[in-house]
Amino acid sequence: MNEPIFSETILEDSEILPIYANSFGIAGGSSDVVIELTCGKEHVATVNMSYELAKTLSLKLMDVVKVLESKTGGSIMTTDHINKFMFGSQSPAAKERRSRESKARRSLDLPEPSKKEIE
């Protein structure tokens, strides 16, 4: 595995504004994926991408997390795991998100994810 390169500056274009998000929602259509980024309750950005890019991005993000976990000897918890410990199950926002995602899957005739895929 090629180790990801960590850099504080990825793009140097001053016209591209940085964004910060601490939550997200994902929906998939027949040809692309839509990611809604939020910070608290504020909408930050909408990102549309192909399934190929979405899969590549997910793998590259996991590579970055694995490098951090390897170097620190720690394990990064997902927000679903944190909510389980903090709230005894999913947070109300996570339950609402799952409900919206489930409705979107049904409307697109997509299967529900297995419990393992959710965790």
How open is the CA angle 11-12-15, to the nearest 5 degrees?
A: 100
Q: Which residues of the chain have pLDDT under 50?
A: 1, 116-119
Domain boundaries, the chain: 18-51, 61-110
pLDDT for the residue 107: 74
pLDDT for the residue 104: 75
pLDDT for the residue 90: 58
pLDDT for the residue 11: 57
pLDDT for the residue 103: 77
pLDDT in tens, 20-30: 999 999 999 89
